[in-house]
Amino acid sequence: MTDNPQPGTTVAQIQQLIRDRYYESDNDRGTGGTFLYFMEEVGELATALANNNRRRAEPTKAERDNLVEEFADVIAWLCTLANINGVDLTEALTKYTDPSRVEGVKD
């Protein structure tokens, strides 16, 4: 795995990169502590989404950049949770990528 993923990088490559860089400390922290960090990032994403979707004004460049960063952080922490719990995200995503498993939509 390269240390600098390029556009088109797969979920498996991102999950492996996160594992290579952070697994030891993430595993030592455990699921509970890691989940709290994940939820903190979800909260930061919620704030960034709110800042980028105000009806009164367009988001600033800084707000837009922050939104992109928060999406990346949520994905990274999700990969961390998957890694320390032995979940292959590519396999998990077959729920959505396997046409025989895809059912319905939420309103």
| 85 pLDDT higher than 90 | yes
Of 13-22, 60-69, 97-106, where does mean pLDDT reach its minimum? Answer: 97-106
Work out the end-to-end distance of the chain between its first and last CA atoms, rounded to an integer number of angstroms: 38
Query: Distance (Å, rounded) from C-alpha 73 to C-alpha 29?
Result: 17
Amino acid 1: pLDDT: 44
Q: Are 26 and 79 in contact (CB under 8 A)?
A: no
Q: Structure pTM?
A: 0.85
What is the tens place of the pLDDT at every residue in 24-69? 999 999 999 999 999 999 999 999 999 999 888 889 999 999 999 9
